[in-house]
Chain A
Amino acid sequence: MKQRFISSAQIILQLVLAAVGLTGHSYPGKPQIIRCRSLEKETFSCWWKPGSDGGLPINYTLFYSKDSEEQIYECPDYLTSGPNSCYFDKNHTNPWTTYIITVMATNEIGSNSSDPQHVDVTSIVQPDAPVNLSLEANTSANMSYLWAQWSPPPLADVTSNSHVYHYELRIKPEENEGWETLSVGTQTHYEVTSLQAGVKYVVQVRCMLDLGEWSEWSSETRIQIPKGRSPPEKPTIVKCRSPEKETFTCWWKPASDGGLPTNHTLLYSKEGEEKVYECPDYKTAGPHSCYFDKKHTSFWTIYNITVRATNEMGSNVSDPHYVDVTYIVQPDPPVNITLELKKSINRKPYLVLTWSPPPLADVRSGWLTLEYELRLKPEEGEEWETIFVGQQTQCKMFSLNPGKRYIVQIHCKPDHHGLWSEWSPEMYIEIPTDFKVKDMVVWIIVGVLSSLICLIMSWTMILKGYRMMAFILPPVPGPKIKGIDTHLLETGKSEELLSALGCHGFPPTSDCEELLIEYLEVEDSEDQQLMPSHDTPSKSAKIILKETDSDSGRGSCDSPSLLPVKCRESRAPPSTLQTQDIRAAQENRRGKGSWETQCTASEQKTLPFISESTTSCTWLAAQLPCNQPAMFAYHSTVEAFKITLNTTNVNTSPVLVGNQENRQSLYPIAETVCDDMEMRSDMENSRTDPTTVQVRQNKHNDKSPLLNPKLMDYVEVHKVRQDEEPTLLLKHKENSGKTKKYTVPGTSKEYTKVSTVVDHHILVLLPDQRIQHTPVAPEPVMETSQNSQQSQAEKNTSYSTTAPSDPKRDTSGSDYMDPSSFMPSFK
């Protein structure tokens, strides 16, 4: 409360004072003591800042008292330290005393006092900066050094100038920021060493008494360190160039000249001569160069060229430069470039470019032969199109985009060695756009043609109705290749043969239509097959994978990618199945020899076909869009060391088990190659590096498309490289334990022919035609629905017991033909 009262009273007072001030006069403002400072701790000075003067002349009085005495003294000397200051000389200064100092401002109206300031002389010591800094630079052989001298700060009392100062010096190159501070000691000179020659330095000094603070830095003093006087450094020969294969010039880059004027001389000797010559002409080609005129230029001769730099202190020679002028020809750019637009008979514009060789180059005599390269791009384009035109001096450019402005440049080069010239200056040409009439004609023709096609299409649609749609947009085709029955060829039923090849008549025959429907039925069955898979939950994952694998048409593509999954599963196969596996392996071992021979025999034939596309499944789908009469159950497995047969298909098991037991059945051919990379990575996953043999079971068409909807089984046969035994595996949809439910008597299959070996990893097997008719119902429901067909098919099926290596089989196997052999080569 009290404080507030006081402060408000002060405000009122000030207001009053201000009011008075407005009328003209008032008390002086409160002065303020700014600082007290002793230069040498024997005297000291104090400075104050005046307050407002109140409009009247003010008198300032400094009073001080000493802590040991009661008495108040006035300032002894108001003049020595300048205005508004008080200087205490030696007699008035006592280092052991604390002074209490106030300044009072007085005018006519009244007076005002500053706050008191306590001063201890020893704590306010700060000398002035040193003065008269002078620098001197010196350079001896390799060292540059600096000699700095200065004087201690001047004092008011000259007689007392006997103090010992400590000095510091700081230095930096003029263009740098960071100072380097050097402690000097008490001397007033210093030598700075290890300076860079040719650099300008800035130097400052400051000083301090044994107590107190550092003085300010003295004013900056600059000095240029002269360059060292030393021998010049090694010059470098930059390049030599002959512009016309008649003269040449070499250029060099001088190194440091050692701070002295330096002379360069070029010396050369020629191959086979001992004599050393000096450059014949330093002037023609400009500074740091030597021009060899025609007289001094020989070809097919190596010049050994060096450049010597010399000054007072010594000389230094460049590394030798070996030059055969033949190889350093770099012509000037071509000249007289003309761009001309011409119109051909069909009114299409084309660009004619002509140019001349650079004027220096004498190409007429045949001494120099030039080759040209031109580049062009649309003005806004990013990338140049470069065209090598050989020795011609003209070029026609067709098919430029109308309406665009092109930039054209040309450069040239000797025919064998040498360098490309610079690019010629940019030339611009605008391709006109006024060729719309012809465009119109084209568009009219296109329009008429397309409307014609539409008419024909719609006409056919009306005639053939909805079925047409199915033909145009068939269901997603699978990799189902039906073998071609040579009986078809023999009987001359060309239509059927064509349909077997996937080339249906137009409009499509009812056969084809039937096939389509059947195909769709199988798709249904596929879905249903998922159901039994739930019966064996332990295998569910696997089964589902296989279902997707089979019949879908994606099989051959997808299966490789599924391989890792399968491989993982195959590491824990049911023990009961392992025994089967072993049997399988043994069985295959028996047939191995003959297999391999067949593989190699047929390898070459099929390779081109396989390599048609990276994913043959896609290829197949594209090639045989309507060739779906046969159904495929397609499986693929990668079976490594622990190959399992736990994948027996429920539906095909009767057949397959039989096959496994008598080891006679090899599945009919078809090929499947999927993305190799994928396959490889899968193999890596399985870590057993198996060689995969995929066998696709192909169903015999039996000449009647109605009987076609039998599933075909695809089987992959894998060869495990580790034991070098090929293992043929049939992949089935279900656990063999379930097979008995669906036993179909008398079914077994036989694979009699290895059609191809693809990529050294995949066997393609051909089945015997007569063994083909293994009915495979995709699942129980499907089986009942297809019973009649199957039984019919079974009747048609006969099984051979001949081993696959039997040569007879080969001939009979040829009844089935790999569709690939009918395909035209696309290479």
Chain B
Amino acid sequence: GLVLLVLLVSNMLLTKEGVTSLPICPNGSCQLSLEELFDRAVKLSHYIHFLSSEMFNEFDERYAQGRGFIAKAVNGCHTASLTTPEDKEQAQQIHHEDLLNLILGVLRSWNDPLIHLASEVQRIKEAPETILWKAVEIEEQNKRLLEGMEKIVGRVHSGEIGNDIYTPWDGLPSLQLADEDSRLFAFYNLLHCLRRDSHKIDNYLKVLRCRLIHDNNC
């Protein structure tokens, strides 16, 4: 009994130690540091890209085998009009504010299609639960990331936020096509673009974090 009590007490003590401390508030204003903001954004973008790759792979395995979708998918994505860095040099040369704005633009451009994707994907014949779940989850997390990015941009930018960068998406009718093959291809293309853009965002964010927080020495 005594031993038990001792164990219990010590356990409680340990648990107490494990409690994470609240963010420190210097000068009375409780703001997350930019580093903390970037860390969270990178975690989120990493997660979103993980989900979108998984979803694409699942879809590809299940619906796209032998249909030659990849050859047709070279027509580009709706965000293609946003000129984003295509290699390391471009990503390093672009001004960080511009890159942040581009990230915001890509994220905003996906708001609309993600909402439709989450609802339309349920109409795919025998869509597995994992795909449905991921579509909803990505949509949610994308919003969260957008919020976070706006916070980061607000912190980094001295002046105005480029609110106008945005690419409209007109792919909804293609997701509702009667012809199954065309409809599946529309999904394939959308998921392929989502995987690509989520990877772009993740990659740019990781570059920006190293540049702004770690002075290019990650």
The answer to whether B203 and A322 touch across the interface, beta carbons within 8 angstroms, is no
Cβ-defined contact, A367 with B88, below 8 A: yes
> In whole angstroms, how far apart are the Cα atoms of A365 and B217 in the complex?
6
A322 x B53 contact (CB < 8 A): no
Mostly helix, strand, loop or mixed at chain A's interface?
Answer: loop
Measured between beta carbons, the chain A residues less than 8 angstroms from B209 are 366
Which residues of B148-181 are within 8 A (CB) of A? none
Q: Is the CB of A363 within 8 A of B218?
A: yes
| Neighbouring B residues of A363 by C-beta, 8 Å | 218
Q: Are A416 and B199 in contact (CB under 8 A)?
A: yes
Q: Of all chain A residues, which has the CB nearest B198?
A: A416
Shortest A244–chain B CB gap in Å is: 9
Question: CA separation between A304 and B70, bound complex, in Å?
Answer: 10
* Contact of A297 with B87 in the complex, beta carbons under 8 Å: yes
* B63-77 interface with A by 8 A CB criterion: 70-71, 73-76
**Per-position contact with B for A348-374: 1 when CB-CB < 8 Å, else 0?**
000000000000001111110100000
Contacts of B24 in A (CB 8 A): none
Say whether A272 contacts B210, CB under 8 Å. no
CB A305 to nearest CB in B, in angstroms, measures 12
Q: Given A245-B88, A299-B87, A363-B218, verify A304-B74 contact (CB < 8 Å).
A: yes
Which chain A residue has the least Cβ–Cβ distance from B207? A366
CB within 8 Å for A415 and B46 given contacts A302-B73, A367-B203, A369-B206: yes
Question: Which positions 169-218 of chain B face chain A at CB distance < 8 Å?
Answer: 196-197, 199-200, 202-203, 206-211, 214, 216-218
In the complex, the answer to whether B218 meets A364 with C-beta atoms within 8 Å is yes
Residue of B nearest to A367 (CB): B88
Does the CB pair A416–B49 fall under 8 Å? yes
Q: How far is the CA of A362 from the CA of B199 in the complex (A)?
A: 18
B84 at the interface (CB under 8 A from A): yes
Is B91's CB within 8 Å of the partner chain A?
yes
A743 lies within 8 A of chain B by Cβ: no
Kindly state the separation between the CA atoms of A417 and B56 in the bound complex, as whole angstroms: 13
**In the bound complex, do residue A416 and residue B53 qualify as a contact, i.e. CB atoms below 8 Å apart?**
yes
B210 neighbours in A (Cβ, 8 Å): 364-366
Does B80 reach chain A (CB closer than 8 Å)?
yes
Residues in A with CB closer than 8 Å to B207 are 365-367
Contact of B88 among A271, A300, A365, A417 (CB under 8 A): A365
From known contacts A272-B74, A272-B75, A364-B218, infer whether A416 and B202 are also in contact, taking CB-CB under 8 Å: yes
| A324: Cβ under 8 A from any B Cβ | yes
Tell me the complex Cα distance, A326–B76, Å: 15
Could you say which of A300, A366, A369 contacts B86, with CB atoms under 8 Å apart? A300
Given A326-B199, A364-B218, A300-B211 contact (CB < 8 Å) = no
The residues of A that contact B203 with a CB separation of less than 8 Å are 299, 367
Q: Is the CB of B50 within 8 A of A362?
A: no
Q: Is the CB of B86 within 8 A of A298?
A: yes
Chain A residues with Cβ under 8 A from B122's Cβ? none
Task: Report how far A297 CA is from B85 CA in the complex, Å.
Answer: 12
A301 touches B86 (CB 8 A): yes
- CB of A323 to closest CB in B, whole Å: 10
Report the interface size for chain B: residues with CB under 8 A from the other chain: 34
Question: Which residue of B has the minimal Cβ distance to A322?
Answer: B70
A416 touches B50 (CB 8 A): yes
B92 an interface residue at 8 Å Cβ cutoff? yes
Inter-subunit contact B196/A324 (CB<8 Å): yes
Closest chain-A Cβ to B167's Cβ sits at a distance in Å of: 15
Taking A324-B196, A365-B216 as contacts, is the C-beta distance between A271 and B49 under 8 angstroms? no
CB-defined contacts of A365 to chain B, threshold 8 Å: 88, 92, 207, 210-211, 216, 218
Closest to A297 in B: B87
Residues of A close to B196: CB separation below 8 A: 300, 324, 326
Q: Which residues of B contact A302 (CB under 8 A)?
A: 70, 73-74
Chain B residues closer than 8 Å to A294, beta-carbon distance: 87-89
Does chain B have a CB within 8 A of A779? no
Q: How far is the CA of A375 from the CA of B136 in the complex (A)?
A: 38
Interfacial chain A residues near B87, Cβ < 8 Å = 246, 294, 297-299
Is the Cβ of A271 less than 8 Å from the Cβ of B74? yes
Interface 1/0s, chain A 295-335, versus B by CB < 8 A?
00111111010000000000000001010101000000000
Q: Which residues of A contact B214 (CB under 8 A)?
A: 366
Shortest distance between the CB of A470 and any CB in chain B (Å)? 28
A247, closest chain B residue (CB): B87
Q: What residues on B are CB-neighbors of A301 within 8 Å?
A: 86
Q: How far is the CA of A298 from the CA of B196 in the complex (A)?
A: 13
| Contact residues in B for A362 (Cβ distance below 8 Å) | 88
A415 to B50, alpha carbons, bound, how many Å? 10
Q: Are B76 and A272 in contact (CB under 8 A)?
A: yes
In Å, the complex CA distance between A362 and B217 comes to 10
A residues 28-73 near B (Cβ < 8 Å) are none
* A326 vs B86: C-alpha distance when bound (angstroms): 10
Q: What per-residue 1/0 map shows which CB atoms of A245-262 lie under 8 Å from chain B?
A: 110000000000000000
Q: Which A residues lie within 8 Å of B200 (CB)?
A: 300
Q: In whole angstroms, what is the CA distance A245 to B76 when docked?
A: 21
- CB closest residue in chain A, given B197: A300
Contact B53 A417 (CB under 8 A): yes
Q: CB-CB < 8 A to A322: which residues of B?
A: 70-71, 74
Report A224-256 CB contacts with B as 1/0, cut-off 8 Å.
Answer: 000000000000000000000110000000000
Q: B206 to nearest A CB, angstroms?
A: 4
Contacts of A297 on B, CB cut-off 8 Å?
87
Query: Who on chain B is nearest to A273 by CB?
Result: B74
Are A364 and B217 within 8 A (Cβ)?
yes
Instruction: Name which residue of chain B comes closest to A326, CB basis.
Output: B199
Question: Which residues of B have CB within 8 Å of A326?
Answer: 196, 199
A366 close to B208 (CB less than 8 A): yes
CA distance in complex: A326, B91 (Å): 14
Query: B residues within 8 A CB of A272?
Result: 74-76, 80
Q: Which residues of B contact A369 (CB under 8 A)?
A: 206
Given contacts A300-B200, A367-B203, A417-B53, contact A246 B88 (CB under 8 A): yes
Q: A367 to chain B: which residues have CB within 8 Å?
A: 88, 91-92, 203, 206-207
- Which residue of chain B is the closest to A272 with respect to CB atoms? B76
* 11 intermolecular pairs with C-beta atoms under 8 Å apart: A245-B88, A294-B88, A298-B86, A300-B84, A322-B70, A364-B216, A364-B218, A365-B210, A366-B210, A366-B214, A369-B206
Q: Which residues on A are within 8 Å of B, measured CB to CB? A: 245-246, 271-272, 294, 297-302, 304, 320, 322, 324, 326, 362-367, 369, 415-417
- 20 more A-B residue pairs beyond the given contacts A362-B88, A366-B209, A416-B50, with a C-beta to C-beta distance below 8 A: A245-B88, A271-B74, A272-B76, A294-B87, A300-B197, A300-B199, A304-B74, A364-B216, A365-B207, A365-B210, A365-B211, A365-B218, A367-B91, A367-B92, A367-B206, A367-B207, A369-B206, A416-B53, A416-B199, A417-B53
Interface residues, chain B, with chain A CB atoms under 8 Å away: 46, 49-50, 53, 70-71, 73-76, 80, 84, 86-89, 91-92, 196-197, 199-200, 202-203, 206-211, 214, 216-218
